[in-house]
Amino acid sequence: MEWQFFVELVTNGMLTGLMYALVAVGFVLIYKSTDAINFAQGEFCMIAAIVVAGAIKLYGFPVWVAIGTGLLFMLVFNWGLERVVLRPMIGRPVVAIIMATIGLALMFRGLGPLVFGAETRPIPLPIPDQPIIWGPFFMAPIDVLGAVISIGFMAVFGWFFMKSRKGVAMRAVADSHQVSMAMGINVERYFVLAWMLAGFVALLGGLVWGSAIGVDTQLAALGLKVFPVVILGGLDSIVGVIVGGIIVGVVEAISAGYIDPFVGGGTKDFTPYVLMILVLMVRPYGIFGKPIIERI
Amino acid sequence: MLKLNNVEVIYDGVILVLRGISIEVEVGSITTVLGANGAGKSTTLKAISGQLKAERGEVTRGTVEFEGARIDHLQAHEAVQMGIVQVFEGRRVFEHLTGEENLIAGGHIVSTPVMKRNMELVYEYFPRLYERREVQAGYLSGGEQQMLAIGRALMSDPKLVMLDEPSLGLAPMIIEEIFGIITKLNEQEKTTFLVVEQNATLALNLAKYGYVMENGAIVLEGNAAALKENADIKEFYLGISSGEKKSFRDVKTYRRRKRWLG
Ligand SMILES: Nc1ncnc2c1ncn2[C@@H]1O[C@H](COP(=O)(O)OP(=O)(O)OP(=O)(O)O)[C@@H](O)[C@H]1O
Ligand SMILES: [Mg+2]
């Protein structure tokens, strides 16, 4: 049935999109507090997944312990990264920080297989293998889990960011480092917090994507993959990331379902970028991005 | 309360901006520092609030003391902890935060109940801020932004509030309103103010004691009443004695000529 096919494409696109959003929100976190774009977010997901999968495979850890290990690792890893690489760069041009994250990304991508081996490993989450069939909906359990984790994280993080005092301080830091300091806000501590949060969400992203497609250095490509999501949504909006993720997921699914059969496949790999460029032409800040306020 | 002793400030390791200035601010007073563009007024405030480091400046000689403790090498957020808060030139509100969120950020270092109490107090003094509390600060009017910047500074329970050119770019009516509120805060809340201004008439009506700064040095100081009567001040800052208002450019060339001849 034609409409059933369409519904299936859209639901699965939405689920995938929410999983993209989980990776994309890592960009938003860093951008909102430091004004820099962290090109290593995809690599963070890869590292987190490699640690979890490695702990299971090499040391025989139970899944939950392995996830705990991964979490601890990511928090410490990103804390250290902020301290050693990024803090000395505070006050430098944003471009310098962006270049540093690109350098880090390439380094991690090269080091990952050296340290953990190049084979593809699974992350066996305790979820059923059979697809969930619910009326016309036909969904992979890992996609559903990924979408639920994504929505859960966004809700909690969104509350923290918009409503809590620490969230307000974090946004103040994003608005102006100098003025925040003049309010008694320890700006450096909020940078660390942002990077550790980015590490945490990378663990979530690494887990769901790692169990969906397997763990190897390919995971790092997620970073570029979600770039249209980030740009579509606007680099600094949580709602934007969710909407952007869903749009990209659905566009991918629909082009894979309707266009690929005619051209022999592969369109879903670039349609999100086409969309991204179109949106940028109309709305340079993305759909939900904040415009630069200009009034004298 | 606050004592600057022969303070010298150098930016970038070579640019000497403050050439040994001494300023004192008494508890509960309003003190003003007057000076033309580039005199070093903002730099003086930054030396007190620990903001120099962010601009690669440093106190290289002399001392800054606050309630008996040396503070010339504190970080900005540590200065706030000690009770010193600076309201920047040009207001510098957090544009993308609402008015109320600006206040919350201003009360970052105090507990939530104290923060809420201070917020009520700020709204009491600045009712306009209450009306506009949900508006993104970037869209507030200049006067409202200045009120917000001052209100935000009050949120941390400061002992000393330093205002950098609060009248800058505002209409006379708004300035009068804001300066009235500053006086009220000083009288009722016993907040101590150090106010930097280019507008000498305003500043000397507000303050009890004043300093005149030029080229990184204090050239004149005294009670506000006495300064208002001072011939030089009348001439150069109030533009009174000559009958016509003089621009800063005139003042500067005149000064230069005077020094040249003297
Ligand atoms: N970060 C900096 N690096 C180098 N020089 C600086 C820096 N900040 C200020 N200066 C210089 O120090 C001098 C005093 O500047 P300051 O901002 O303290 O003056 P001001 O009295 O506040 O002037 P205005 O009335 O224009 O605000 C100026 O000559 C300025 O060029
Ligand atoms: Mg100034």
Ligand 1 atom closest to the CA of B43, numbered from 1: 18
**Nearest ligand, CA B35:** 1
Residue B190 counted as domain residue: no
Six-digit token string for B82? 């000690």
Residue B105 counted as domain residue: no
Q: What's residue B240's pLDDT?
A: 54
Task: Note the pLDDT tens digit of each residue in A158-186.
Answer: 899 889 999 999 999 988 888 999 999 99
Pocket of ligand 1 (CB under 6 A): B 11-12, 15, 17, 35, 37-43, 55, 57, 89, 198
Q: Under an 8 A CB cutoff, do A183 and B108 touch? A: yes
Centre of ligand 1 to C-alpha B18, Å, is 10
In angstroms, what separates the C-alpha of A294 from chain B's closest C-alpha?
8
Q: Which residues of B touch A165 (CB under 8 A)?
A: 104, 108, 112, 115
Residue B13 counted as domain residue: yes
Annotate B25-46 with b (16+ C-beta within 10 A) or e (fewer). beeebbbbbbbbeebbbbbbbb
Count of beta carbons in the 10 Å neighbourhood of residue B144: 22
Task: Map tokens 């938003």 to a residue.
Answer: A28
Task: Note the pLDDT tens digit of each residue in B87-140.
Answer: 999 999 999 999 999 999 999 999 999 999 999 999 999 999 999 999 999 999
DSSP secondary structure string, A127-187?
--SSPEEETTEEE-HHHHHHHHHHHHHHHHHHHHHHHSHHHHHHHHHHH-HHHHHHTT--H
CB under 8 Å to A261, separation ≥6 — which residues?
Answer: none
| B254 near A CB under 8 A | no
Residue of B nearest to A32 (CA): B96
DSSP secondary structure string, A1-40?
-HHHHHHHHHHHHHHHHHHHHHHHHHHHHHHHHHS---TT
**Nearest ligand, CA B213:** 1
Q: Under an 8 A CB cutoff, do B54 and A176 touch? A: no
Tell me the CATH number at B247. Answer: 3.40.50.300
Centre of ligand 2 to C-alpha B40, Å, is 7
Q: What's residue B235's pLDDT?
A: 67
User: How many residues are given for chain B?
Assistant: 262
Residue B10 counted as domain residue: yes
Residue B46 counted as domain residue: yes
Q: Identify the DSSP state of B198.
A: S
In angstroms, what separates the C-alpha of B171 from chain A's closest C-alpha?
14
Count of beta carbons in the 10 Å neighbourhood of residue A254: 18
Residue B144 counted as domain residue: no
Structural domains of chain A ordered from first start: 2-132+149-282 (1.10.3470)
Q: What is the pLDDT along chain A (296 residues), one digit of tens a residue?
A: 578 888 888 988 999 999 999 999 999 888 888 778 888 999 999 999 989 988 888 888 898 998 999 999 999 999 998 888 888 877 678 788 888 889 888 888 888 777 777 788 888 888 887 888 877 777 888 888 989 999 999 999 989 988 999 999 999 998 888 899 999 999 889 989 999 999 999 999 999 999 888 888 888 888 888 888 888 887 778 888 899 999 999 999 988 888 888 887 778 788 888 888 888 888 777 777 766 655 54
Nearest to B106 by CA among A35, A34, A172: A172
Range of the domain at B67: 2-83+198-261
Q: What's residue B243's pLDDT?
A: 45
Q: Under an 8 A CB cutoff, do A168 and B136 touch? A: no
Tell me which amino acid residue A97 is: I
Query: Pairing mode, if any, of strands B57-66 and B2-11?
Result: antiparallel
Q: Give the number of C-alpha atoms closer than 13 A to the C-alpha of residue B60, restricted to the C-beta side.
A: 15
| Torsion over CA: B97, B99, B100, B102 (sign) | positive
d(CA B91, CA B86): 10
Tell me which amino acid residue A219 is: L
| B86 near A CB under 8 A | yes
Q: Identify the DSSP state of B96.
A: T
Q: Give the number of C-alpha atoms closer than 13 A to the C-alpha of residue B134, restricted to the C-beta side.
A: 1
Which strands make up the sheet holding B209-214, listed edge to edge?
Answer: B84-87, B160-164, B192-197, B30-35, B209-214, B217-223
d(CA B82, CA B58): 20
Q: What's residue A238's pLDDT?
A: 84
Centre of ligand 1 to C-alpha A181, Å, is 20
| B105 near A CB under 8 A | yes
Q: What's residue B121's pLDDT?
A: 94
Question: Rounded to the nearest 5°, which phi and psi values hold at A273?
Answer: -70, -35
Q: A202 near A74, Cβ under 8 Å?
A: yes
Tell me which amino acid residue A113 is: P
Question: Rounded to the nearest 5°, which phi and psi values hold at A286?
Answer: 85, 175
Residue B156 counted as domain residue: no
d(CA A13, CA A23): 16
Ligand 1 atom closest to the CA of B44, numbered from 1: 18
d(CA A263, CA B87): 63
Nearest to B121 by CA among B166, B156, B86, B83: B156
Mutational test site, ligand 1, from B8, B11, B92, max ligand atoms within 8 Å of CB: B11
Residue B208 counted as domain residue: yes
Q: Residue A210: in which H helix or E strand, if any?
A: helix A187-213
ipTM of the shown complex? 0.84
Name the domain count of chain B: 1
Among the partner-chain residues A169, A179, A184, the one whose CB lies closest to the CB of B92 is A179
Q: Which residues of chain B have pLDDT under 70?
A: 234-262
Q: A172 near A184, Cβ under 8 Å?
A: no
**Nearest residue by C-alpha to atom 22 in ligand 1:** B42
Select from A170, A178, A183 the residue whose CB has the most chain B CBs within 10 Å, as the one to mutate to test that interface. Answer: A183
d(CA A25, CA A223): 11
